[in-house]
Amino acid sequence: MEMGMRNHELVPLELIASISKIHRGAVSCSLINLAKHGTVAHERGKRCKLTLLCCEEICRILDDGYRLTTLGYDILALKDLCSREVVGAVGNQIGVGKESDVFVGGDPKLNDLVLKFHRLGRISFRKLKEKRDYCKKRKSCSWLYLSSLAAAKEFAFLKALHDHNFPLPRPIDRCRHVVVMDLINGTTLCHVQKLNDVEGLYEKLMNIIVRLARYGLIHGDFNEFNIMLTEEEEPVLIDLPQMVSMDHTNAQFYFERDVNCVRTFFRRRFNYESELYPNFDAMTRKYNLDVEVSASGFTPRMSKVYEKVLFQSYLILLKNSCY
Protein backbone atom coordinates (compact mmCIF):
# COMPACT_ATOMS: atom_id res chain seq x y z
CA MET A 1 0.00 0.00 0.00
CA GLU A 2 2.86 2.37 0.79
CA MET A 3 4.24 1.81 -2.71
CA GLY A 4 0.82 2.46 -4.21
CA MET A 5 0.49 5.75 -2.32
CA ARG A 6 3.47 7.12 -4.21
CA ASN A 7 1.11 8.08 -7.01
CA HIS A 8 -2.37 7.36 -5.61
CA GLU A 9 -4.34 9.17 -2.95
CA LEU A 10 -6.43 6.02 -2.47
CA VAL A 11 -4.87 2.70 -3.51
CA PRO A 12 -7.29 0.30 -5.26
CA LEU A 13 -7.58 -3.22 -3.90
CA GLU A 14 -6.48 -4.65 -7.25
CA LEU A 15 -3.24 -2.65 -7.17
CA ILE A 16 -2.44 -3.73 -3.60
CA ALA A 17 -2.95 -7.37 -4.60
CA SER A 18 -0.78 -6.90 -7.70
CA ILE A 19 2.11 -5.27 -5.83
CA SER A 20 2.02 -7.71 -2.92
CA LYS A 21 1.49 -10.74 -5.25
CA ILE A 22 -1.14 -12.06 -2.87
CA HIS A 23 -4.59 -13.30 -3.84
CA ARG A 24 -7.22 -10.55 -3.81
CA GLY A 25 -9.39 -12.39 -1.28
CA ALA A 26 -6.52 -12.75 1.20
CA VAL A 27 -5.58 -9.11 0.72
CA SER A 28 -9.16 -8.02 1.37
CA CYS A 29 -9.30 -9.99 4.65
CA SER A 30 -5.96 -8.54 5.77
CA LEU A 31 -7.07 -5.01 5.00
CA ILE A 32 -10.28 -5.46 6.98
CA ASN A 33 -8.25 -6.58 10.01
CA LEU A 34 -5.78 -3.72 9.62
CA ALA A 35 -8.63 -1.23 9.35
CA LYS A 36 -10.05 -2.53 12.66
CA HIS A 37 -6.76 -1.58 14.32
CA GLY A 38 -6.67 1.84 12.67
CA THR A 39 -3.51 1.28 10.63
CA VAL A 40 -5.27 1.64 7.27
CA ALA A 41 -8.48 3.37 6.21
CA HIS A 42 -10.97 2.53 3.49
CA GLU A 43 -12.68 5.32 1.59
CA ARG A 44 -15.35 5.03 -1.04
CA GLY A 45 -15.34 7.15 -4.17
CA LYS A 46 -16.40 10.69 -3.39
CA ARG A 47 -16.46 14.18 -4.79
CA CYS A 48 -14.15 16.67 -3.09
CA LYS A 49 -13.10 20.29 -3.49
CA LEU A 50 -9.58 21.09 -4.62
CA THR A 51 -7.98 24.48 -3.86
CA LEU A 52 -5.60 25.81 -6.49
CA LEU A 53 -2.71 28.27 -6.17
CA CYS A 54 -4.98 30.95 -7.58
CA CYS A 55 -7.35 30.22 -4.68
CA GLU A 56 -10.06 28.95 -7.06
CA GLU A 57 -11.86 25.73 -6.25
CA ILE A 58 -12.66 22.86 -8.60
CA CYS A 59 -14.28 19.48 -8.01
CA ARG A 60 -12.51 16.17 -8.32
CA ILE A 61 -13.73 12.60 -7.97
CA LEU A 62 -11.57 10.29 -5.88
CA ASP A 63 -11.52 6.56 -6.62
CA ASP A 64 -12.53 3.92 -4.12
CA GLY A 65 -9.54 2.49 -2.25
CA TYR A 66 -7.34 2.29 0.83
CA ARG A 67 -4.74 4.55 2.39
CA LEU A 68 -2.23 4.30 5.20
CA THR A 69 -3.13 6.16 8.38
CA THR A 70 -0.67 8.08 10.51
CA LEU A 71 -0.64 5.16 12.98
CA GLY A 72 0.15 2.73 10.20
CA TYR A 73 2.99 4.91 8.94
CA ASP A 74 4.36 5.19 12.49
CA ILE A 75 4.36 1.40 12.85
CA LEU A 76 6.19 0.89 9.54
CA ALA A 77 8.89 3.39 10.54
CA LEU A 78 9.33 1.93 14.03
CA LYS A 79 9.48 -1.63 12.66
CA ASP A 80 12.35 -0.69 10.35
CA LEU A 81 14.19 1.25 13.07
CA CYS A 82 13.88 -1.73 15.41
CA SER A 83 15.13 -4.13 12.73
CA ARG A 84 18.16 -1.87 12.25
CA GLU A 85 18.74 -2.07 16.03
CA VAL A 86 18.49 1.70 16.27
CA VAL A 87 15.42 1.79 18.54
CA GLY A 88 14.69 -0.67 21.32
CA ALA A 89 11.94 1.14 23.23
CA VAL A 90 9.58 4.10 22.92
CA GLY A 91 8.62 6.02 26.04
CA ASN A 92 6.53 9.04 26.93
CA GLN A 93 5.74 11.98 24.71
CA ILE A 94 7.92 14.92 25.74
CA GLY A 95 6.92 17.48 23.15
CA VAL A 96 4.26 18.40 20.65
CA GLY A 97 4.42 21.05 17.95
CA LYS A 98 2.51 22.31 14.95
CA GLU A 99 4.26 19.83 12.70
CA SER A 100 5.74 17.11 14.93
CA ASP A 101 5.42 14.85 17.96
CA VAL A 102 8.50 14.14 20.07
CA PHE A 103 8.97 11.01 22.22
CA VAL A 104 11.76 9.86 24.49
CA GLY A 105 13.04 6.41 23.68
CA GLY A 106 15.95 4.06 24.04
CA ASP A 107 18.26 2.01 21.87
CA PRO A 108 18.57 -1.79 22.35
CA LYS A 109 21.04 -1.09 25.19
CA LEU A 110 18.49 1.38 26.69
CA ASN A 111 20.62 4.45 26.12
CA ASP A 112 18.38 7.52 25.96
CA LEU A 113 17.42 8.97 22.59
CA VAL A 114 14.68 11.09 21.02
CA LEU A 115 12.24 10.12 18.29
CA LYS A 116 10.71 12.99 16.34
CA PHE A 117 7.63 12.12 14.25
CA HIS A 118 6.95 14.74 11.58
CA ARG A 119 3.22 15.50 11.15
CA LEU A 120 2.77 17.89 8.23
CA GLY A 121 -0.86 18.66 7.56
CA ARG A 122 -2.05 18.35 11.14
CA ILE A 123 -2.48 21.96 12.26
CA SER A 124 -0.62 24.64 10.34
CA PHE A 125 -1.65 23.13 6.99
CA ARG A 126 -5.15 22.00 7.95
CA LYS A 127 -6.74 24.60 5.64
CA LEU A 128 -5.03 22.99 2.69
CA LYS A 129 -7.45 20.09 2.31
CA GLU A 130 -6.22 18.73 -1.02
CA LYS A 131 -2.68 18.10 -2.22
CA ARG A 132 -2.17 18.82 -5.90
CA ASP A 133 0.57 17.68 -8.24
CA TYR A 134 3.61 19.12 -6.46
CA CYS A 135 5.73 16.17 -7.54
CA LYS A 136 5.84 16.61 -11.30
CA LYS A 137 4.90 13.13 -12.57
CA ARG A 138 3.11 12.16 -9.35
CA LYS A 139 -0.67 12.35 -9.41
CA SER A 140 -0.71 13.37 -5.76
CA CYS A 141 1.46 14.05 -2.76
CA SER A 142 0.09 12.71 0.52
CA TRP A 143 0.84 14.37 3.84
CA LEU A 144 2.73 11.18 4.75
CA TYR A 145 5.09 11.75 1.84
CA LEU A 146 5.51 15.42 2.71
CA SER A 147 6.21 14.48 6.34
CA SER A 148 8.89 12.12 5.06
CA LEU A 149 10.39 15.00 3.05
CA ALA A 150 10.45 17.18 6.18
CA ALA A 151 12.24 14.44 8.10
CA ALA A 152 14.74 13.95 5.26
CA LYS A 153 15.47 17.67 5.23
CA GLU A 154 15.94 17.91 8.98
CA PHE A 155 18.18 14.83 9.15
CA ALA A 156 20.36 16.09 6.29
CA PHE A 157 20.88 19.46 8.00
CA LEU A 158 21.38 17.87 11.42
CA LYS A 159 24.14 15.66 10.08
CA ALA A 160 25.87 18.42 8.10
CA LEU A 161 25.74 20.96 10.94
CA HIS A 162 26.75 18.43 13.59
CA ASP A 163 29.80 17.50 11.52
CA HIS A 164 30.76 21.22 11.60
CA ASN A 165 30.35 21.46 15.39
CA PHE A 166 27.14 23.47 15.53
CA PRO A 167 25.24 23.17 18.84
CA LEU A 168 22.50 20.62 18.15
CA PRO A 169 21.62 16.99 18.99
CA ARG A 170 23.66 14.23 17.38
CA PRO A 171 21.61 12.68 14.55
CA ILE A 172 21.42 8.91 14.75
CA ASP A 173 19.12 7.67 11.99
CA ARG A 174 16.02 8.43 9.93
CA CYS A 175 13.25 6.23 8.58
CA ARG A 176 10.33 7.67 6.63
CA HIS A 177 8.95 10.56 8.74
CA VAL A 178 10.87 9.71 11.94
CA VAL A 179 14.18 11.29 12.94
CA VAL A 180 16.19 9.68 15.75
CA MET A 181 18.67 11.82 17.67
CA ASP A 182 20.42 12.17 21.03
CA LEU A 183 18.44 13.34 24.05
CA ILE A 184 19.43 16.82 25.22
CA ASN A 185 19.13 17.47 28.94
CA GLY A 186 17.87 21.01 29.15
CA THR A 187 14.90 23.35 29.01
CA THR A 188 13.23 24.97 26.03
CA LEU A 189 14.13 28.67 26.03
CA CYS A 190 10.46 29.71 26.09
CA HIS A 191 10.19 28.19 29.60
CA VAL A 192 13.26 29.98 30.99
CA GLN A 193 12.38 32.91 33.27
CA LYS A 194 15.81 33.89 34.64
CA LEU A 195 19.35 33.86 33.30
CA ASN A 196 22.71 34.30 34.97
CA ASP A 197 24.10 36.05 31.91
CA VAL A 198 21.41 37.58 29.67
CA GLU A 199 23.88 39.49 27.50
CA GLY A 200 26.09 36.44 27.10
CA LEU A 201 23.23 34.26 25.83
CA TYR A 202 22.05 37.00 23.47
CA GLU A 203 25.52 37.19 21.93
CA LYS A 204 25.73 33.39 21.58
CA LEU A 205 22.43 33.26 19.72
CA MET A 206 23.37 36.08 17.37
CA ASN A 207 26.73 34.42 16.75
CA ILE A 208 24.93 31.21 15.74
CA ILE A 209 22.83 33.15 13.21
CA VAL A 210 25.98 34.78 11.80
CA ARG A 211 27.89 31.51 11.69
CA LEU A 212 25.04 29.78 9.88
CA ALA A 213 25.04 32.59 7.31
CA ARG A 214 28.77 32.20 6.77
CA TYR A 215 28.12 28.53 6.04
CA GLY A 216 25.47 29.55 3.51
CA LEU A 217 22.40 28.80 5.63
CA ILE A 218 19.53 30.55 7.40
CA HIS A 219 17.60 28.78 10.14
CA GLY A 220 14.24 30.21 9.11
CA ASP A 221 12.47 29.64 12.44
CA PHE A 222 15.01 30.80 15.01
CA ASN A 223 12.88 31.47 18.08
CA GLU A 224 12.51 30.54 21.76
CA PHE A 225 10.45 27.43 20.92
CA ASN A 226 13.21 25.87 18.80
CA ILE A 227 16.14 26.50 21.13
CA MET A 228 17.01 24.51 24.25
CA LEU A 229 19.18 25.73 27.09
CA THR A 230 21.45 23.40 29.06
CA GLU A 231 22.22 23.81 32.78
CA GLU A 232 25.35 25.72 31.74
CA GLU A 233 23.14 28.11 29.73
CA GLU A 234 24.50 26.83 26.43
CA PRO A 235 21.99 27.05 23.53
CA VAL A 236 21.12 23.97 21.45
CA LEU A 237 19.11 24.10 18.21
CA ILE A 238 16.37 21.47 18.10
CA ASP A 239 14.24 22.17 15.02
CA LEU A 240 15.58 22.56 11.48
CA PRO A 241 12.94 21.75 8.80
CA GLN A 242 12.51 25.42 7.83
CA MET A 243 16.21 25.99 7.05
CA VAL A 244 17.00 27.64 3.70
CA SER A 245 20.05 28.65 1.68
CA MET A 246 21.52 32.14 1.66
CA ASP A 247 20.78 32.04 -2.08
CA HIS A 248 17.06 31.61 -1.46
CA THR A 249 14.81 34.22 -3.07
CA ASN A 250 13.52 35.33 0.34
CA ALA A 251 16.81 34.88 2.20
CA GLN A 252 16.90 38.44 3.58
CA PHE A 253 13.35 38.14 4.90
CA TYR A 254 14.11 34.87 6.74
CA PHE A 255 17.41 36.19 8.08
CA GLU A 256 15.89 39.39 9.46
CA ARG A 257 12.96 37.48 10.91
CA ASP A 258 15.36 35.20 12.82
CA VAL A 259 17.24 38.19 14.19
CA ASN A 260 14.05 40.02 15.18
CA CYS A 261 12.64 36.92 16.91
CA VAL A 262 15.63 36.85 19.24
CA ARG A 263 15.57 40.61 19.87
CA THR A 264 11.83 40.61 20.58
CA PHE A 265 12.04 37.68 22.98
CA PHE A 266 14.90 39.18 24.99
CA ARG A 267 13.15 42.52 25.18
CA ARG A 268 9.88 41.04 26.43
CA ARG A 269 11.23 38.32 28.71
CA PHE A 270 14.41 39.84 30.14
CA ASN A 271 13.89 43.55 29.45
CA TYR A 272 17.13 43.49 27.49
CA GLU A 273 17.70 45.29 24.21
CA SER A 274 20.98 45.63 22.39
CA GLU A 275 21.88 47.92 19.52
CA LEU A 276 24.26 45.25 18.26
CA TYR A 277 22.69 42.72 15.89
CA PRO A 278 23.72 41.20 12.54
CA ASN A 279 22.80 42.79 9.24
CA PHE A 280 22.02 40.68 6.20
CA ASP A 281 23.97 42.90 3.78
CA ALA A 282 27.08 42.53 5.92
CA MET A 283 27.05 38.71 5.79
CA THR A 284 29.83 37.05 3.80
CA ARG A 285 29.55 33.42 2.75
CA LYS A 286 32.73 31.46 3.43
CA TYR A 287 31.47 27.88 3.05
CA ASN A 288 28.87 26.07 0.96
CA LEU A 289 27.16 23.84 3.48
CA ASP A 290 23.86 24.23 1.62
CA VAL A 291 25.51 22.59 -1.39
CA GLU A 292 26.88 19.78 0.78
CA VAL A 293 23.39 19.08 2.12
CA SER A 294 22.00 18.82 -1.41
CA ALA A 295 24.69 16.29 -2.24
CA SER A 296 24.06 14.28 0.93
CA GLY A 297 20.51 13.19 0.15
CA PHE A 298 18.09 16.10 0.38
CA THR A 299 18.16 17.06 -3.27
CA PRO A 300 17.11 20.40 -4.82
CA ARG A 301 14.09 18.65 -6.33
CA MET A 302 12.95 17.47 -2.89
CA SER A 303 13.50 20.97 -1.54
CA LYS A 304 11.32 22.49 -4.28
CA VAL A 305 8.48 20.09 -3.49
CA TYR A 306 8.70 20.86 0.22
CA GLU A 307 8.91 24.63 -0.22
CA LYS A 308 6.05 24.67 -2.73
CA VAL A 309 3.62 23.05 -0.31
CA LEU A 310 4.70 25.49 2.40
CA PHE A 311 3.98 28.36 0.02
CA GLN A 312 0.61 26.86 -0.92
CA SER A 313 -0.40 26.58 2.74
CA TYR A 314 0.71 30.16 3.36
CA LEU A 315 -1.57 31.40 0.57
CA ILE A 316 -4.54 29.53 1.99
CA LEU A 317 -3.93 30.82 5.53
CA LEU A 318 -3.48 34.34 4.18
CA LYS A 319 -6.74 34.10 2.26
CA ASN A 320 -8.65 32.97 5.36
CA SER A 321 -7.10 35.69 7.54
CA CYS A 322 -8.56 38.33 5.21
CA TYR A 323 -12.13 37.47 6.21
Using a 10 angstrom Cβ sphere, with 0-12 exposed, 13-18 middle and 19 or more buried, the burial of residue 37 is exposed
Please tell me which residue in 107, 112, 221, 281 is annotated as part of the active site: 221
Q: Cα dihedral sign for 267, 101, 320, 128?
A: positive
Characterize 287-309 residue by residue with b for buried, 16 or more Cβ atoms within 10 angstroms of its Cβ, and e for exposed: ebbbebbbeeebeeebbebbbeb
Give the Cβ contact number of residue 70 at 10 Å. 18
DSSP, collapsed to helix, strand or coil, labels residue 94 as strand
Instruction: Check if 133 is active-site.
Output: no
Give the closest residue to 157 by CA, choosing from 102, 238, 79.
238
Give dist(CA 87, CA 43) in Å, integer: 33
Burial classification of residue 87, based on how many CB atoms lie within 10 Å of its CB (0-12 exposed, 13-18 middle, 19 or more buried): buried
Cα 132 to chain center, whole Å? 19
Closest residue by Cα to residue 232 from 181, 191, 195: 195
Helix axes 70-83, 143-163, angle to 10 degrees: 40
Q: What is the rounded distance in angstroms from the CA atom of residue 20 to the CA atom of residue 17?
A: 5
**What residues does 51 pair with on adjacent strands?**
57
Closest CA to 48 of 128, 143, 133, 124: 128
Report the C-alpha gap between 92 and 140 in whole angstroms: 34
Q: Catalytic residue positions?
A: 221
